[in-house]
Structure 1
Amino acid sequence: MSPESRPPRGLVLVVEDEPAIADVVRLNLVKAGYGVHVQHDGAHALGDVRRLRPAAIILDVGLPGMDGIEICRALRADQDWTPVLFVTARDDEVDRIVGLELGADDYVTKPFSPRELVARVTGVLRRTQGTPETAPQTVGPLTIDTGRRRAYADDREFALTATEFDLLAYLMRRPGRVFSREQLLSEVWGYSSVAGTRTVDVHIAQLRAKLGEDSPIRTVRGVGYAAERSAAERR
């Protein structure tokens, strides 16, 4: 299937081996103003990403041949941080956590509401494409530049997914303030806690692993998370 002309909202690559589901997702994305390219075969999806440079990818986990997890792993290994939303027929927390740890930006299970899926895509793209130009923020050794979507400390720059960056930026814009998991889901992901606050924990763990000793994130037991200034910065 040839890609539709690119409207202002961008092109979405849908990688789904069930034609009926792919068609429903395509129709809803087109109705919302997106261009869509559908790929039913996982082995060809990587080539489509590199050729089409989509704004976002909706990726079925259970693809024949090369599955969605392998595709996401290959993209991130190539330093390709195109937003990825996993779709799976399994509502298993272990699978969900594995997907997020690989660098997925969101995760929905079948059966799902096509309108909700479109809303999730819109939410990710709104954050990544509509970031206002603000002065860089520094907490401890870490600096984020939201206009350029860069996170760095001294001469080190960190490769973050769209959602990891948005979560870090949200915390760092309000240093010292503690946010609950429910607040972070609502403000960063754009949906309620019914989706599961474990998503927040996994992304925090990923951020800490990537940032290492430069991470400003502090856990407030029983409450949530904060970006903590150093003692010298608080004086």
Structure 2
Amino acid sequence: MIEAQHLLIVDDDDRIRDLLKKYLGRQGYKMTVAADAKAARKLFQTFSFDLAILDIMMPGEDGLSLLSALRQDGNQTPVLLLTARGNASDRIEGLKLGADDYLPKPFEPEELSLRVAAILRRTHMPEPPGEVEMSGLVFDVKRGVLTGPEGAIRLTDGELQLLTLMAQQPGEAFSREGLAEQTSNGSERSIDVQVTRLRKKIEPDPKNPIHLQTVRGIGYRLMPD
């Protein structure tokens, strides 16, 4: 079983903390929240986080100061900064201090989720599996070969690209836009078509997929056995 990635949200706005905790929690992340930098510091001493979302504008110690302290202490937890719209100086300073990305307020939760997923892909790249097993089928990731009880199963170029990309990070949610950009399928609509065709080849019941799953509000993910 894949362990959920642990995210920390540091924001003095109760509504934003609650919104992100619920929204990202539904995406499968383990969530912890803090209302200020002081509380966040204590949490960093206790837990190891896969990513922290820090609001810059907070009473007392601000997000930039907290980020600076983390980096000086050798803490390399990936950080996404929430900034005031149009405040370029804060964004530039944050990137200089070692932030991985920033998002101006107000923002759409879906965009934040996609940015979080992108940061985690860049910073937590596991060794890709050699093979992925799915209900009696075996996909050799390096060779790009899908086999079943009766032998090799033919895949089109588009299906092979899609399956290979997702099999390299099993359990990871990919946006439809990102899949279109990283394959030759060209458009989000083409991705949907390829997914439908691929499900017919790998799913015991294509109408109720258990391996090539839809992730609501994001796109798709591949879940092996």
Q: TM-score range by the shorter chain?
A: 0.5 to 0.7
Task: For 2:6 and 2:68, locate their aligned partners in 1 and report how far apart those are by CA, in whole Å.
Answer: 21
Aligned pair 1:75/2:70, yes or no?
yes
**TM-score, reference length from structure 1:** 0.52
Written as runs of structure 1 = structure 2, the 5 A alignment for 1:71-150 is 71-132=66-127
Unaligned runs of 5+ in 2: 129-180, 183-225
Q: How does 1:1-235 map to 2 (within 5 A)?
A: 8-132=3-127
Superposed displacement of residue 123, structure 1: 1.0
2: CA distance, partners of 1:9 / 1:117: 18
| Secondary structure in structure 1 of the residue aligned to 2:59 | coil
Deviates more, 1:124-133 or 1:22-31: 124-133
Shift of residue 131, structure 1, vs aligned partner = 4.5
Gap runs ≥5 in structure 1:
1-6, 134-185, 188-235
Look up the equivalent residue of 1:15 and give its one-letter code.
V
Q: Please tell me whether the aligned partners of residues 14 and 38 of structure 1 are also in contact (alpha carbons under 8 angstroms).
A: yes
Contact map agreement 1:13 1:49 (CA 8 A) in 2: no
Q: Look up the SS of the partner of 1:86 in the other structure.
A: strand
1:58 maps to amino acid: I
Q: CA RMSD in A?
A: 1.7
Opposite residue 57 of structure 1, the aligned amino acid is: A
> What are the Cα deviations for residues 81-127 of structure 1, in whole angstroms up to 9, with x where unaligned?
10000002242211110110011000001000111111111111122
Runs of 4 or more off by more than 4 Å in structure 1? Answer: none
Which residue number corresponds to residue 152 of structure 2? none
Q: Does the residue aligned with 1:64 lie in a helix, a strand or coil? A: coil
Deviations 1:21-75 (A, max 9, x none): 1111111110110010110022221121121111100000011111100100000
Is the 8 Å Cα contact of residues 51 and 79 (structure 2) preserved in structure 1? yes
Aligned pairs, number: 129
**Any conservation in 2 of the 1:61–1:86 contact (CA below 8 Å)?**
yes
Letter in 1 for 2:43: D
Question: Identity over aligned residues, as a percent?
Answer: 40
**Larger gyration radius, structure 1 or structure 2:** 2
AA of the residue aligned to 1:49: F
Once residues 16 and 94 of structure 1 are traced to their aligned partners in structure 2, the CA distance between those partners, rounded to angstroms, is: 20
